[in-house]
Structure 1
Amino acid sequence: MRLSSLYVAAMAVYQVCGLILPQPGSAKYEDLAAKDRYLRALHSRAVNPTLEQERANAVKDAFVFAWNGYFSTCKGQDELEPVTNTCNNPRNNWGASAVDALSTALVMEIQDIVTDILDYIPTIDFTTSATQVSLFETTIRYLAGMLSGYALLREEILTVTGSTPNIEALLTQSQSLAGSLSFAFDTPTGIPSNNIYLNNRTTDGETVNSLATIGSLVLEWQHLSDITGNATYGALAQKAESYLLNPEPTYNEPFPGLVGSEVNISNGVFLDATGGWNGGDDSFYEYLIKMYVYDSSRFSNYRDRWVLAADSTMKYLASHPSSRPDLTFLASYVNTTFVNASEHLTCFDGGNFLLGGSVLDRQDYIDFGLALVNGCHDTYTSTLTGIGPETFSWNTSGVDSSNQFFYEKNGFYITNPLYDLRPEVMESYYYAYRITGNTLYQDWAWDAFVAINATTRVGNGFSEVSDVNAVNGGSFGSLQESFLFAEVMKYSYLIHAPDAPFQVSNDYQNKWVFNTEAHPLIVAGPPV
């Protein structure tokens, strides 16, 4: 355990406060909640509006820089390739970066960027595409981006002068897009095909779909139903989700609430018992508790499934590296065999447990979420760049002379050193701060943002880098995903920004809920 030096410092703080610090080795000292209290004593500071504003403004400046690089070169296209200053269109050439940037520009209150995006979105033709369309990616980026912008503008988060017709176009275009995508659900079960072709209304012929790509549609499609009064959209997504909420066969649910990763489209049965909170499964579990936040009166069954999964996760998947038992990561599973490896994608898990613990008034979930946040923080602070890797492991069979020192010191070793501008660690810092109020997590988020800005900024934007544990991140890959605008910049900003209705609440008053691409959607039921 690496708290010995912290303990000495904390002792002085506790003495000043007239408190008695538990002794190392005692049950209370080992308790996760106690550890968090020590960190609070060490790192808490009076809220400094000037510091917070300076940090928020710095993130805002980085967002504007990236936006200007994209918009000046790739307006109407999906992504900027900042190293070569060229454009890329992996999202059907509909302008993914612009749509993903809208809700962030709104919460940052950047009028001119909002106006540019509102002028652009009505020009998109969502009825046609020359390339394959991903139902999942299109839903979380385009559909959610437009619905979020519509909600934020209708709630007058930012009033845009003279843009009322274009505000309504956000809803019109959302309906156009959903209409184009809806045939994906025309299967024997209603479980959609993920990879579709709009021009001839066909699919790629795949007979299976994955847990996350089925289970991460219902929030957006249900919201579209709720604001239009057309029940069809939500009914499509909920029918598909029903197979995940009532999984068959039962042996493909190896732990209560934790299921396999692949589902047969034609009959709805699970085809395996392999899974966890990694990519391909992740946002299914994320959306269970978020659907309850969205409307607790209609979606209590989603809450119940999340509780089952959360309890099993704490009981079976919590894993502590042999070299650093103070750290907590989540293992995955193949049937009932555990795999001690994880991903940057998985690091949203701490934030999801914190949200669940907050809305359900469960301190055990909050404590576990903080432990997961601390583990993912370690993956950042252990590298030369201060950024965490794409994948990592703590499986001791993979430890050899090349990584033994790193593993002994840090509790994991890197299996893929790439950084693809992923937001999940920043996301969990955001929830940790909003739920606990502990400014330590603001500092962690700022450190991460500084590292990302220093390492990945190149040309007119930000790029993936090849090796987070190499000087300067190794080499650039010239890929600036649209989620840089939607997630990395938004979470980096909001953690320092003033309170607002769309911010995550710790007092059972969540009036908004973030989709998996960090687009805030206004809740339909009573706040929780």
Structure 2
Amino acid sequence: MRLASLYVAATVLYHACGLALPQPGSTKFGYLASGDRGIRALQNRAANPTLEQERANAVKDAFTFAWNGYFSNCKGQDELEPVSNTCLNPRNNWGASAVDALSTALVMEIQDIVTDILDYIPTIDFTTSTTSVSLFETTIRYLAGMLSGYSLLSEGILNVTGSVANIKALLTQSQSLADSLSFAFDSPTGIPSNSIYLNSRSTGGESVNSLATIGTLVLEWQHLSDLTGNGTYGALAQKAESYLLNPEPTYNEPFPGLVGSTISISNGAFLDATGGWNGGDDSFYEYLIKMYVYDSSRFGIYRDRWILAANSTMKYLTSNPSSRPDLTFLASYVNTTFVNASQHLTCFDGGNFLLGGSVLKRQDYIDFGLALVNGCHDTYTSTLTRIGPEAFSWDTTGVDASNQAFYNANGFYITNAFYDLRPEVIESYYYAYRITGNTMYQDWAWDAFVAINATTRVNNGFSAISDVNAAHGGSFDNVQESFLFAEVMKYSYLIHAPDAPFQVNNDCENQWVFNTEAHPLKVVGPPI
């Protein structure tokens, strides 16, 4: 097939969605990365139509392997410690891995795992926990996991099912959990404490909360209100969010739409002007555009604040390493001083810009998102394990004899070599593929999955590793976070899976939106 014909085939979906694809050979923002590699990938795929299915099946096998190891050893507990085959309970001892795994087992259509989880969830007592409970972590993992499972099963779009009682229990258990957590919002402002104690219905006494832990509740709590007809849940989260959407004092918004990181619980004031898209701030910005996707008729202000933040990010935070000006990373800021350092957590940013560009029909956001995806891809391909590090920098004041050669070649140097089974880079590959149709991003995701499977797999699961740039990943850290099931496995699978209503940009529309833990929630407004 002639190259021009392949290019036409690659752009059918893109043009149908009202977007423009760079010309063949273009390297604008790294979209095709090196000449016509994206076109060649499409040609190879056409020659092997079963490749996507083979890859999807391999991810399902890895998910099933990890699930069997967790469930046989740690049913009812939060996490498997995969090196020692012991169990850990950092998430309230309610079985976090089981709840986090449900939506992935559903989209993979693995009936026996779905049945195991549906039988387990009604047994959880969400009214008690002997440990401190994180409102943020509990919302994004437990509440979203159950709401996603309820909607996916209720819609009847899958070849798996559950008993009527167990499906109903997903919603009633979500209400029970939210009712148990709701006292966290009992403050003068309605801004919640993040650390709470259910048994005494008390908080940890904090006077402040962070941007992400306040701003990453509204999607889940609003969805619970929309499913139950009880507006109280959404109202609690929206009141807290209102202080973030209307930040005061104004000097703690150093760039339009970009705000500080620490907020007073007593009066709602921002207490600093330090921030960016790194951990602690990240999912606040993520949810601005996702709330608009969830219901464009009600949440236009969220879209407007995302646009402000996105424009300022492109204008002020774009950073190109001196040794690799072809790469694009996001700096963070302290007041108006920029910090050239980033994190694996930050690498969701490319996917978020791609989603925003797609729904707003903004090619500049899509191009910028692809540039960010390309930069994060480099953090993976530059290490010995081909897995990206927890933290990295391109600040030349930190370059010395120990990292000069690495920085010269790769445009960054590693400041924390740990890998905690994080999903953000694969997540952004997923959005890049779903929105552009370029199979190069499938190949990148597959390369990442192969590296993770080869390096972190141990005994009955997958373990965090100490050093992504050491042979065999250094040492195992004996941690398997529940988001391995919810995110790494889901994005690695869905990027190769057939189109479906819950897929991003299905038929140029988003009928579902993924929360920050990758649980798909049904859109209630008109799909965009």
TM-score (norm 1): 0.94
Deviates more, 1:37-46 or 1:199-208: 37-46
Hey, what's the Cα distance between the residues in 2 that align with 1:352 and 1:487?
15
Residue 38 of structure 2 is matched in structure 1 by 40
Is the alpha carbon distance of 1:400 and 1:525 closer, same or farther for their aligned partners in structure 2, counting shifts above 3 Å? same
SS in 1 for 2:498: coil
Shift of residue 15, structure 1, vs aligned partner: 12
Is the alpha carbon distance of 1:413 and 1:171 closer, same or farther for their aligned partners in structure 2, counting shifts above 3 Å? same
Residue type at the aligned position of 1:522: K
Q: Is the 8 A contact 1:107 1:157 kept in 2?
A: no
Hey, what's the Cα distance between the residues in 2 that align with 1:344 and 1:52?
26
Is the alpha carbon distance of 1:49 and 1:249 closer, same or farther for their aligned partners in structure 2, counting shifts above 3 Å? same
Q: Is the 8 A contact 1:186 1:192 kept in 2?
A: yes
Hey, what's the Cα distance between the residues in 1 that align with 2:461 and 2:67?
8
Is the alpha carbon distance of 1:507 and 1:366 closer, same or farther for their aligned partners in structure 2, counting shifts above 3 Å? farther
Q: Is the 8 A contact 1:106 1:157 kept in 2?
A: no
* Alignment partner of 1:299 is 2:310: no
Shift of residue 157, structure 1, vs aligned partner: 3.0
C-alpha RMSD over aligned residues: 1.7
SS in 2 for 1:142: helix
Residue 415 of structure 2 is matched in structure 1 by 415
Residue 87 of structure 1 is matched in structure 2 by 87
The residue correspondences of 1:289-328 to structure 2 (distance < 5 A) are 289-328=289-328
* Alignment partner of 1:118 is 2:118: yes
Shift of residue 332, structure 1, vs aligned partner: 0.2
Residue 180 of structure 1 is matched in structure 2 by 180
Residue 435 of structure 1 is matched in structure 2 by 435
Residue type at the aligned position of 1:40: G
* Alignment partner of 1:139 is 2:136: no
Residue 197 of structure 1 is matched in structure 2 by 197
SS in 2 for 1:49: coil
Hey, what's the Cα distance between the residues in 2 that align with 1:70 and 1:261?
36
SS in 2 for 1:526: coil
Is the alpha carbon distance of 1:87 and 1:17 closer, same or farther for their aligned partners in structure 2, counting shifts above 3 Å? closer
The residue correspondences of 1:501-516 to structure 2 (distance < 5 A) are 501-505=501-505, 507-516=507-516
Q: Deviations over 1:105-147 (max 9, x none)?
A: 0000000000000000000000000000000000000000000
Overall identity of the aligned pairs, in %? 82
Shift of residue 34, structure 1, vs aligned partner: 7.2
Q: Deviations over 1:69-92 (max 9, x none)?
A: 000000000000010000000001
Shift of residue 30, structure 1, vs aligned partner: 6.5
Hey, what's the Cα distance between the residues in 1 that align with 2:301 and 2:107?
32
Q: Which runs of 5+ in 1 are unaligned?
A: 1-11, 19-27
Q: Deviations over 1:238-283 (max 9, x none)?
A: 0000000000000000000000000000000000000000000000
Residue type at the aligned position of 1:364: D
Hey, what's the Cα distance between the residues in 2 that align with 1:377 and 1:350?
11
Shift of residue 164, structure 1, vs aligned partner: 1.1
Shift of residue 16, structure 1, vs aligned partner: 11
SS in 2 for 1:170: helix
Q: Deviations over 1:35-84 (max 9, x none)?
A: 56744334333444310000000000000000000000000000000100
Is the alpha carbon distance of 1:34 and 1:508 closer, same or farther for their aligned partners in structure 2, counting shifts above 3 Å? closer
Residue type at the aligned position of 2:41: H
Hey, what's the Cα distance between the residues in 1 that align with 2:425 and 2:29?
20
Residue 221 of structure 1 is matched in structure 2 by 221
Q: Deviations over 1:345-379 (max 9, x none)?
A: 00000000000000000000000000000000000
Shift of residue 102, structure 1, vs aligned partner: 0.2
* Alignment partner of 1:425 is 2:425: yes
Is the alpha carbon distance of 1:197 and 1:98 closer, same or farther for their aligned partners in structure 2, counting shifts above 3 Å? same
Hey, what's the Cα distance between the residues in 2 that align with 1:267 and 1:86?
44
Hey, what's the Cα distance between the residues in 2 that align with 1:34 and 1:376?
13
Residue 367 of structure 2 is matched in structure 1 by 367
SS in 1 for 2:50: helix
Shift of residue 397, structure 1, vs aligned partner: 0.2
SS in 1 for 2:387: coil
Hey, what's the Cα distance between the residues in 2 that align with 1:132 and 1:230?
27
Residue 330 of structure 2 is matched in structure 1 by 330
Residue type at the aligned position of 1:365: Y
Deviates more, 1:394-403 or 1:152-161: 152-161
Is the alpha carbon distance of 1:478 and 1:225 closer, same or farther for their aligned partners in structure 2, counting shifts above 3 Å? same
TM-score (norm 2): 0.94
Residue 167 of structure 1 is matched in structure 2 by 167
Paired residues in the alignment total: 508
Q: Is the 8 A contact 1:77 1:89 kept in 2?
A: yes
Shift of residue 468, structure 1, vs aligned partner: 0.2
Residue type at the aligned position of 1:527: P
Is the alpha carbon distance of 1:14 and 1:509 closer, same or farther for their aligned partners in structure 2, counting shifts above 3 Å? closer
Residue type at the aligned position of 2:53: Q
Residue 355 of structure 1 is matched in structure 2 by 355
Hey, what's the Cα distance between the residues in 2 that align with 1:370 and 1:223?
30
Shift of residue 398, structure 1, vs aligned partner: 0.2
Is the alpha carbon distance of 1:199 and 1:401 closer, same or farther for their aligned partners in structure 2, counting shifts above 3 Å? same
Q: Is the 8 A contact 2:257 2:308 kept in 1?
A: yes
Hey, what's the Cα distance between the residues in 2 that align with 1:466 and 1:142?
28
Is the alpha carbon distance of 1:14 and 1:406 closer, same or farther for their aligned partners in structure 2, counting shifts above 3 Å? farther
Q: Is the 8 A contact 2:500 2:506 kept in 1?
A: no
Hey, what's the Cα distance between the residues in 2 that align with 1:15 and 1:198?
61
Residue 480 of structure 1 is matched in structure 2 by 480
Hey, what's the Cα distance between the residues in 2 that align with 1:413 and 1:297?
44
Hey, what's the Cα distance between the residues in 1 that align with 2:150 and 2:138?
17
Residue 287 of structure 1 is matched in structure 2 by 287
Residue 458 of structure 1 is matched in structure 2 by 458
Q: Which runs of 5+ in 2 are unaligned?
A: 9-24
Hey, what's the Cα distance between the residues in 2 that align with 1:147 and 1:389?
32
Q: Is the 8 A contact 2:79 2:480 kept in 1?
A: yes
Hey, what's the Cα distance between the residues in 2 that align with 1:412 and 1:337?
20
Q: Is the 8 A contact 1:464 1:478 kept in 2?
A: yes
Shift of residue 163, structure 1, vs aligned partner: 1.2
Hey, what's the Cα distance between the residues in 2 that align with 1:106 and 1:506?
18
Is the alpha carbon distance of 1:111 and 1:29 closer, same or farther for their aligned partners in structure 2, counting shifts above 3 Å? closer
Is the alpha carbon distance of 1:77 and 1:307 closer, same or farther for their aligned partners in structure 2, counting shifts above 3 Å? same
Residue 273 of structure 2 is matched in structure 1 by 273
Is the alpha carbon distance of 1:506 and 1:369 closer, same or farther for their aligned partners in structure 2, counting shifts above 3 Å? farther
Q: Is the 8 A contact 1:358 1:506 kept in 2?
A: no
Is the alpha carbon distance of 1:161 and 1:438 closer, same or farther for their aligned partners in structure 2, counting shifts above 3 Å? closer
The residue correspondences of 1:93-108 to structure 2 (distance < 5 A) are 93-108=93-108
Q: Deviations over 1:403-430 (max 9, x none)?
A: 0000000000000000000000000000
Q: Is the 8 A contact 1:115 1:160 kept in 2?
A: no
Hey, what's the Cα distance between the residues in 1 that align with 2:478 and 2:342?
25
Residue 77 of structure 2 is matched in structure 1 by 77
